[in-house]
Chains A and B, each alone.
Chain A
Amino acid sequence: MTSAVADLLAGVLAGDAVLRGPERERWAVAGVVPGAVVFPATAEDAAAILSRASEEGWRVVPAGLGGWLEGGAPTGGPVDLVLSTRRMDRILHYEAADLTISLEAGLEVDALTSRLEQEEQWLPLDAPGAGAGSVGALLATGAAGPLEAGFGRPRDHVLGGTLVTGDGRILRLGGRVVKNVAGFDLVRLAVGSGGALGVLTEATLRLFPRPERDVTLRLPGPEPGALVEAARRVATAPVPLAAAELMDPAPDLPGPDAGAQHGAALLVRVLGGADAVESVVGSLEEILEGSADAETTRADGADSAALHRSVEGIEDGASLVVRLALLPARLEETLARAEELVARAAARPDPSARSNGPRPVVAAHVTTGVVRVVVRRTIDAGEIDEWARTLGGLRADLEQSGGSLTVASGPPDLVRAVGARGEVGRQERRLLDGLKDTFDPAGVMPGIDN
């Protein structure tokens, strides 16, 4: 972007709404500092910017608060503009009795949570790192956390939204009501589109009453494989679960024993009315007792919530996050493949070069069969090829069994070499390209597969 063009931008927005100096570095996308960062205050401003971007052929990356959930969009080239929704952070309409809320996309998720708490309501979405990010980012990535087991994914909770397309059209999609089939479901398309279609500036979300009781059961084990049987029995038990995660290492329960618990554990969370929760917990304790040698411990209320907040934080500062997926009944196989990645992380080109750093975290969503591997030590440039080979091989292997491997975030060179997602069939590719073209004909937004 030339400075003449950046001047143009500054003409569209108020002075402090454009960053052109060194402060831009904070907004680097996968290491690439953008030509400018803009903070539109309204959907109309965002539309004017994107309209211009399409005319000029800029490359634009949307952002909320700059936390780059899912690693942001790895690019092969320069980023002309980061468009942040940070200034659009108001709650527009909160009708607690309707269990719906309309808000601007730049609102911080934690701030939303606090506001909802005042009405004893909540939004049961706990994607990794989402709390400190914007609602828009959460919806754009469509990422889910452990609560998916009990409550579904972000796209199940969005009733409507405003999407500013890559070519600067403002589309007000969906509505404010929980049942709405007036036309094609473009809301579902926009959520999880990763910014490929445009920028979400507003959303209407469906809410839930805060559960009366929150209990997590923790069953430790020497390693994940030893807990698979227990996990499968929990997953197929006829009881409502809020979350079931098999982790290694697993966070400790708060309390006097904290720090003494090491290694892997199965964490099962139950939310609901007091009587119902106690009944389910009782059933689960029986199941877990029969499945493993160790003792199950229990966390209640704030302790249970704190435990899950730490689960939410496991991707903070990660250098590489990979998601492996097969059907949930094949959890053991998926974990075995995750072990290959853990082994790769342990095999360093020069073991003496530096300290080992924290070991990777393996976290399996038991009910969906998705296993995350979070690598926390730095990955050197010299290792990229080896990693690419390992990941490519694992992906081919999983895809052959009907599964998938997704690189949620990682070193840009590695993500480029492997591809964030696997290839899709020719017809699906045509549909994806056609949809992309519909909303972003000039191709200013990140690609669909990022």
Chain B
Amino acid sequence: MPTPLPDPLVRSLRTVVGAEALITDPARLLVYESDGLTAYRHLPRAVVFPSDSDQVSRVVELLAAEDVPFVPRGAGTGLSGGALAIGDTVVIATTRMDRILEIDPENRRARLQPGVINARLSAATEPHGLYYAPDPSSQSACTLGGNVAENSGGPHCLKYGVTSRYITGLTVVLPTGEVVRLGGQGRDAAGLDLVGLFVGSEGCFGIATEIEVQLLPLPEGVRTLLAIFDDMEAAGRAVTGIIGRGLLPAALEIIDGETIRAVEASVFAAGYPVDAAAALVVEFDGVEAGLDAELAEAEACCREAGAREIRKADTEEERSALWKGRKKAFGAMGRIAPDLLVQDATVPRTTLPGVLRKIGEIGRRYELTLANVFHAGDGNLHPNILFDRRDTEELARVEEASKEIMQVCVDAGGTITGEHGVGVDKRKYMSLVHGDAELRAMADVREVFDPAHLCNPGKVLPDEIWALPGMAAAGPAPRAGTGAAG
């Protein structure tokens, strides 16, 4: 149990945000002990709900004055433990900061608070013929603030890029409580890219309290097909063929047989054939003229690769049906096993077939059920492991298998996380892709923003980095992470 906050501090916080915007009762705090990575639980000392930038600034100032560490939290959908309250931390939740401040169609931009839900933003801009492109699969729940923290991706980032491409300005409350405005669309974008550095900093550099985003015009048209394959490698060949022809689909998503069966056995049943080894969703969007030709080329690639069935959408309803299996994949897995280890590695696309083979082999060797979902276009894999945590023997195999899978991906020239972030969960893998020099540089950069180590401690960087020679921090000693992942 974390130590309760001292009464004077509680009173001061209540004065800033109002009594109803501060939770200290342990029973109510339980909701905030996890994020999307439910294997880890850390009860926060308190949860505070500021409603604007000024309140965030004053709350942080109060906490910093008492040397109390804090962690920002959006919707808590993160899959790497980024919002976990490790080490006696106060959660600063952005859920009340859910206003869209300005939609500016003439300049194709919008300004909003961090608690705005991703899908809600695009819904609000749609009447202006505009949308916000990065669409992580959790978009109906996740917030822009969380997207900024994780540099979120999603199925459409092959063509459209990731979050950092679309954030043009930020108001940030630094870990001292000071407020700084970075970037801004009227300013020429040359010079050190502090906005770009902040995006993906996983809540370790401060709290974004206002976000300026770039919007795109809605594509004129969209075409979608679903191709069914009898083996995964054929699906991989289809993907290679499509990219090889110079096509740039808006989305290229694959789910494997195990995932298909999970979906079809659930309330999310989408009519995918349960004996298939792989289902590939291909989507093109953009100018109406030419979409049919692109889809036809993609269809040809699928058939050449050996697809046994192709389904195409003619209406928005049909399009939703084609996507349903893919979109509900994670939700459906809860049916099969109580626990799910969601992995998130990226490999060069051309290495996918080989990597998938090796992952399958690892799953068999460890006698584990793997369900693969992936953004085939950019090589971002989610080889998910289904298990029961209460079976400690199986849990041990899951952890071993997970390490091997990660090594396979790194050996193929890939990285340890493509979109979920490092958080707590992947700190142990950071040294697979970064040497000490790089990790030290990241630690140094972190300390430029947060010399006192108060802002989301125990995330991203392995604890050992702070103990390296020459890493003496200016402020109090770094708080060691106490998470299960170490």
> Which B169-221 residues sit within 8 Å CB-CB of chain A?
174, 178-182, 184-194, 196-197, 199-201, 204, 217-218, 220
> Which A208-232 residues sit within 8 Å CB-CB of chain B?
208-210, 212, 232
Q: Is A210 touching B448 in the complex (CB atoms < 8 A)? A: no
- A169, A183, A273: the one contacting B422 at CB < 8 Å is A183
A143 at the interface (CB under 8 A from B): yes
- A177-B347 contact given A170-B437, A182-B416, A428-B180, CB 8 Å threshold: yes
Kindly state the separation between the CA atoms of A344 and B18 in the bound complex, as whole angstroms: 57
B413 at the interface (CB under 8 A from A): yes
Q: Mark A180-197, 1 if CB is under 8 A from B, else 0.
A: 111111101101111010
- A97-B433 contact given A175-B414, A192-B193, A325-B188, CB 8 Å threshold: no
Kindly state the separation between the CA atoms of A175 and B158 in the bound complex, as whole angstroms: 16
Kindly state the separation between the CA atoms of A326 and B107 in the bound complex, as whole angstroms: 10
The interface residues of chain B lying within 8 Å CB-to-CB of A437 are: 448
Kindly state the separation between the CA atoms of A120 and B243 in the bound complex, as whole angstroms: 12
- A181-B417 contact given A192-B192, A402-B187, A438-B441, CB 8 Å threshold: yes
Q: Is B445 touching A184 in the complex (CB atoms < 8 A)? A: yes
B106 at the interface (CB under 8 A from A): yes
B295 at the interface (CB under 8 A from A): no
Q: Is B186 touching A97 in the complex (CB atoms < 8 A)? A: no
A272 at the interface (CB under 8 A from B): yes
A354 at the interface (CB under 8 A from B): no
Kindly state the separation between the CA atoms of A178 and B153 in the bound complex, as whole angstroms: 10
Q: How big is the A interface, by class? A: 35 or more
The interface residues of chain B lying within 8 Å CB-to-CB of A274 are: 290
- A279-B287 contact given A182-B426, A186-B445, A327-B185, CB 8 Å threshold: yes
The interface residues of chain A lying within 8 Å CB-to-CB of B192 are: 189, 192-193, 196, 432, 435, 448
Q: Is A95 touching B293 in the complex (CB atoms < 8 A)? A: no
Q: Is B417 touching A275 in the complex (CB atoms < 8 A)? A: no
Q: Mark B372-390, 1 if CB is under 8 A from A, else 0.
A: 0001001110000000000
Q: What is the distance, in angstroms, from A439's C-beta to the closest C-beta of chain B? A: 7
Least CB separation from B287: chain A residue: A276
Q: What is the distance, in angstroms, from B238's C-beta to the closest C-beta of chain A? A: 13
The interface residues of chain A lying within 8 Å CB-to-CB of B446 are: 184
Least CB separation from B189: chain A residue: A153
Q: Is A155 touching B289 in the complex (CB atoms < 8 A)? A: no
Q: Mark A384-406, 1 if CB is under 8 A from B, else 0.
A: 00000000000000000111101
Q: Is B200 touching A239 in the complex (CB atoms < 8 A)? A: no
Kindly state the separation between the CA atoms of A233 and B204 in the bound complex, as whole angstroms: 42
- A95-B350 contact given A180-B418, A209-B246, A425-B180, CB 8 Å threshold: yes
The interface residues of chain A lying within 8 Å CB-to-CB of B191 are: 142, 192, 194, 421, 448-449
- A404-B188 contact given A185-B200, A189-B193, CB 8 Å threshold: yes
Q: What is the distance, in angstroms, from A427's C-beta to the closest C-beta of chain B? A: 4
Kindly state the separation between the CA atoms of A209 and B417 in the bound complex, as whole angstroms: 26
Q: What is the distance, in angstroms, from B226's C-beta to the closest C-beta of chain A? A: 23
- A237, A272, A327, A449: the one contacting B107 at CB < 8 Å is A327
**Which segment, of B61-69, B160-168, B333-341, B394-402, faces chain A?**
B160-168
The interface residues of chain B lying within 8 Å CB-to-CB of A329 are: 104, 106-107
B276 at the interface (CB under 8 A from A): no
Least CB separation from B448: chain A residue: A434
Q: Is A152 touching B161 in the complex (CB atoms < 8 A)? A: yes
Q: Is B288 touching A209 in the complex (CB atoms < 8 A)? A: no
Q: Is A172 touching B435 in the complex (CB atoms < 8 A)? A: yes
The interface residues of chain B lying within 8 Å CB-to-CB of A143 are: 190
> Which B347-395 residues sit within 8 Å CB-CB of chain A?
347-350, 375, 378-380
Kindly state the separation between the CA atoms of A432 and B448 in the bound complex, as whole angstroms: 9
Interface centre among A143, A179, A208, A237 (most CB of B within 10 A): A179
- A182, A421, A432, A449: the one contacting B430 at CB < 8 Å is A182
A263 at the interface (CB under 8 A from B): no
Q: Is B188 touching A323 in the complex (CB atoms < 8 A)? A: yes
Q: What is the distance, in angstroms, from B165's C-beta to the closest C-beta of chain A? A: 5
Apart from A183-B439, A239-B287, list 11 A-B contacts with CB within 8 A. Answer: A97-B244, A142-B190, A181-B422, A183-B422, A183-B461, A185-B164, A196-B192, A238-B217, A240-B286, A329-B104, A438-B448
16 contacts between A and B (CB under 8 A): A143-B190, A169-B441, A176-B348, A177-B379, A181-B419, A185-B151, A185-B197, A186-B442, A189-B445, A192-B190, A272-B286, A276-B291, A328-B108, A369-B186, A401-B186, A428-B194
Residues of A near any B CB (own CB < 8 A): 95, 97-100, 120, 141-144, 152-153, 155-156, 165, 169-173, 175-186, 188-189, 191-194, 196, 208-210, 212, 232, 236-240, 272-276, 278-280, 323, 325-329, 368-370, 401-404, 406, 408, 421, 425, 427-428, 431-432, 434-435, 437-439, 448-449
